[in-house]
Amino acid sequence: MEFTTQELSSIAKNFADLFEQKIVDKGERRISVIEHDLRASLQKLAQLIMAELLVELEPERENRIDCECGGELAFERRRGAKIKSSFGWVSYERDCYGGCVCGQGKSPLDESLGIEPGKISPELARLLALVGVELPYEASSQLVEEFLLLHLSENSIREETQRFGQYQVEREERLIEQTEDEVYLQERLRSFSEKEYPQRLYGSLDGAHTRIEDPEETEKWREVKVGCWYEVEVVSPSQRNSRHRKQEEIGQQALRAKKQQYYCDIQSVDEFAPLFWARACQARADFARELVFLGDGAKWIWKLVEHFFPNAVQIVDWFHAEERLEKVAKDAFGNAEKRDAWLEESRSALWEGDVEFVIRACHQLSKVSREAADAETYFENNKKRMRYDRFREKGYMIGSGTVESACKQIVSQRLRCSGAQWKVEGARLTAKARAARLSKNKDWQFLSSMRAGLPLAA
Ligand SMILES: [Zn+2]
């Protein structure tokens, strides 16, 4: 729905005349003040327009209408109500019916438009959740006030954001139920043609801790497990940034992730497994011609991958492996020159896929360095996941940053930002809402539709 300039020009002219009078009365000549006052006035106008519209949209009055219970309701009277919209409170009147034996009343206008009287409108809710997934709730409240000229408490924004997270929980629960049902899985198998199977699909999993301030919880830190399904594309020369050029310098193709689908939870591995499988099915990982999995060295990650996708290519994210070498070098050498030489040599051996060399190099330092001893075990346990020479030859993304950035974007940037204090459930729901928002599928639109009480497309 859009208006032409022509359609609105006479209204604009009238409004401008009114507004100009106010400016003259006030003696105001600063554009900043004029613009701000105009925003406030338009907001007030929008409130009135919305109230008028609601009257216009009232369904035709009837003497009797059906009640949910199967009984009958009779017209009683017009009653006032209000909703908190993105323009502020809108007050309106509508027909109300009552008198059924069940004691329930009804307003056909509210029902047909999906209005919950006294509550926040779906559109305002969507905007609040959008800010709430980005910023701490207190900062959200301040930002909303500037942008919408409305005061909304920290609590309202928290509530709306976490409601989006709760909707995501409900969607995921449904998905888990479906993907544990053999009949559903068989039907699903028939519903896709082979052309729709992903060629090369990537998965990543990671965990990061967040602090919990809950007197009822014994653990102060809980691990948020974050997963991502995605595809990879070659970055065109004109779009390459300094990170891509650096990749190219060391002989790695400039690659980047696309179509990311994020999911997360605060659970044990066993509790998390059904979600892992459900979201894998949603990404069609079980149909993928080739599945590449990136993670750090954490055992739970590879346990899950091996259980559900024994044929997946497993890769320890290059950045994690490299970081490990840096830790050893720092711990084992006091002399900067020796440290750099050791690091340089083992890093290039690792890059060439010579993990045995790296294991020996760590072993030699294991008597003097605890880090080196631990790293030796780490490289030994993960050596088949570090054949970086082969992985590069195949064109796999070996150090996506996606593993890190999924956790970084969800846990570090939102849950761990300063001023944030969490109970487990609040952290969990906020993280889920944020994961949906960051995903490049339709997750966020689905949640918005659920908030608006609209039927879901799929
Ligand atoms: Zn009834």
From residue 443, alpha-carbon distances to 87, 172, 393, 433 in Å are: 26, 11, 35, 9
Angle between helices 370-381 and 318-332 (to 10 degrees): 150
Residue 92 CA to ligand 1 center (angstroms) comes to 25
Residue 69 CA to ligand 1 center (angstroms) comes to 4
Instruction: Name the token pair of 89.
Output: 């409170």
Residue 103 CA to ligand 1 center (angstroms) comes to 6
Out of 159-173, 213-227, 228-242, the most confident range is: 159-173
Q: Can you tell me which residue has the tokens 């919408």?
A: 148
Residues forming beta bridges with residue 106, ordered by sequence position: 97
CA-CA distance, 385 to 382, in Å (whole number)?
Answer: 5
CA-CA distance, 410 to 228, in Å (whole number)?
Answer: 11
Sequence-ordered list of residues with C-beta below 8 angstroms from that of 121, at least 6 positions apart, any chain: 83, 84, 85, 86, 115
pLDDT for residue 248:
72
pLDDT for residue 284:
95
pLDDT for residue 401:
65
From residue 94, alpha-carbon distances to 97, 195, 262, 350 in Å are: 10, 53, 43, 72
pLDDT for residue 220:
87
- Mean pLDDT in residue range 425-440: 96
Instruction: Determine what percent of the chain is predicted with pLDDT higher than 70.
Output: 97
Pairing of strands 290-295, 313-316: parallel
Q: Sorting pLDDT into bands at 50, 70 and 90, what band is 458?
A: very low
- Mean pLDDT in residue range 402-415: 79
Residue 104 CA to ligand 1 center (angstroms) comes to 6
pLDDT of residue 41 exceeding 80, the answer is yes
Sequence-ordered list of residues with C-beta below 8 angstroms from that of 377, at least 6 positions apart, any chain: none
| pLDDT tens digits, one per residue of 189-203 | 899 888 889 999 999
pLDDT for residue 254:
82
Q: Which uninterrupted H or E stretch holds 436?
A: helix 424-438
Long-range contacts of 306-309 (CB under 8 A, 24+ apart): 307/273, 308/273, 308/276, 308/277, 308/280, 309/203, 309/280, 309/285
Give percent helix, percent strand, percent coil of the chain, each to the nearest 5.
55, 15, 25
Residue 64 CA to ligand 1 center (angstroms) comes to 12
Residue 61 CA to ligand 1 center (angstroms) comes to 18
Residue 72 CA to ligand 1 center (angstroms) comes to 6
Region label for 22, one of left (φ > 0), alpha (ψ between -120 and 50) or beta (otherwise):
alpha
Contact between 175 and 282 (Cβ < 8 Å): yes
Indicate the pTM of the whole model: 0.91
DSSP SS3 for 151: coil
Region label for 313, one of left (φ > 0), alpha (ψ between -120 and 50) or beta (otherwise):
beta
pLDDT for residue 235:
86
CA-CA distance, 330 to 326, in Å (whole number)?
Answer: 6
| pLDDT tens digits, one per residue of 10-35 | 999 999 999 999 888 888 889 999 99
pLDDT for residue 350:
95
CA-CA distance, 439 to 431, in Å (whole number)?
Answer: 12
Average pLDDT of the chain to the nearest whole number: 92
Residue 81 CA to ligand 1 center (angstroms) comes to 21
- Mean pLDDT in residue range 105-113: 94
DSSP SS3 for 46: helix
Residue 106 CA to ligand 1 center (angstroms) comes to 9
Residue 41 CA to ligand 1 center (angstroms) comes to 43
Residue 68 CA to ligand 1 center (angstroms) comes to 6
Q: Which uninterrupted H or E stretch holds 300?
A: helix 299-308
pLDDT of residue 457 exceeding 70, the answer is no
pLDDT of residue 232 exceeding 80, the answer is yes
Pairing of strands 88-98, 255-265: unpaired
Residue 70 CA to ligand 1 center (angstroms) comes to 6
| pLDDT tens digits, one per residue of 111-143 | 999 999 999 999 999 999 999 999 999 999 999
pLDDT of residue 245 exceeding 80, the answer is no
pLDDT of residue 244 exceeding 90, the answer is no
Q: What is the dihedral of CA 402, 406, 407, 410, to 10 degrees?
A: 160
Residue 98 CA to ligand 1 center (angstroms) comes to 8
Residue 30 CA to ligand 1 center (angstroms) comes to 59
Long-range contacts of 357-364 (CB under 8 A, 24+ apart): 358/325, 359/383, 362/328
Half-sphere exposure of 173 (CA within 13 A, CB side): 6
Q: Sorting pLDDT into bands at 50, 70 and 90, what band is 447?
A: very high
pLDDT for residue 213:
87
| pLDDT tens digits, one per residue of 252-304 | 778 888 999 999 999 999 999 999 999 999 999 999 999 999 998 789 999 99
Residue 79 CA to ligand 1 center (angstroms) comes to 19
Residue 448 CA to ligand 1 center (angstroms) comes to 30
pLDDT for residue 250:
66
Contact between 74 and 98 (Cβ < 8 Å): yes
Residue 66 CA to ligand 1 center (angstroms) comes to 8
Burial grade of 436 (CB within 10 A; 0-12, 13-18, 19 or more): buried
Q: Which uninterrupted H or E stretch holds 200?
A: strand 200-211
pLDDT for residue 238:
83
| pLDDT tens digits, one per residue of 347-406 | 999 999 999 999 999 999 999 999 999 999 999 999 999 999 999 999 999 886 655 578
* DSSP secondary structure letter of residue 408: I
Residue 108 CA to ligand 1 center (angstroms) comes to 14
Residue 105 CA to ligand 1 center (angstroms) comes to 8
| pLDDT tens digits, one per residue of 317-351 | 998 899 999 999 999 999 999 999 999 999 999 99
